[in-house]
Amino acid sequence: MIFLDTSFLKSDEITLALNHTAPDDPARGWVPAYHFYICDSAGQKMGQCDLRVGYNDKLYFGGHIGYRVEEPYRGHHYAEKACRLLFELAKRHDMPYVIITCNPDNLPSRRTCERLGGELIEIAELPEDNDMRRDGETRKCIFRFPL
């Protein structure tokens, strides 16, 4: 896969500043990924997000997009705005849909997925061999977003 130019990932409020890219690692079940800082118009880092490009069984539970907004910046829908920009990058990679997952008790993240128009496919039990179980996670809300 060829990593694309990401300079278009900005709006009036936020810019996704590329931190780094990561190649695939088939042995670990990883697909290529972009990692960004979510920044305000002045360049202040407010959080992080990433886009994993491709499809495999692990992504059903881990998702294509991950995000985290730092505490002082929460409540302004920055995660939602970052995801909308990442949807555009996913489209440029000819991805027909993306999955975003979250823990069932993470209500802010669930609301973000709902505001983005995601379809809640299921609240799934993580497979026994899933890496996220090491962090004590057992279930994930699986949201699908057609692009």
CATH number, residue 137: 3.40.630.30
Average pLDDT per block of 10 residues along the chain, 147 residues long? 96 97 92 98 96 94 96 96 98 98 96 97 94 91 97
pLDDT computed for residue 29 by the predictor: 86
| 30 lies in some domain | yes
- The three-class DSSP label of residue 75 is coil
Task: Count H helices and E strands in the chain, helices first.
Answer: 3, 7
| 7 lies in some domain | no
Range of the domain at 45: 14-146
| 40 lies in some domain | yes
| 1 lies in some domain | no
What is the pTM (predicted TM-score) of this model? 0.94
pLDDT computed for residue 119 by the predictor: 97
pLDDT computed for residue 12 by the predictor: 94
| 136 lies in some domain | yes
Domain tally for the chain? 1
pLDDT computed for residue 57 by the predictor: 87
Among candidate residues 76, 21, 22, the one with its CA nearest the CA of residue 46: 76
| 22 lies in some domain | yes
| 45 lies in some domain | yes
| 86 lies in some domain | yes
Residue 103 CA to residue 111 CA, distance in Å, equals 12
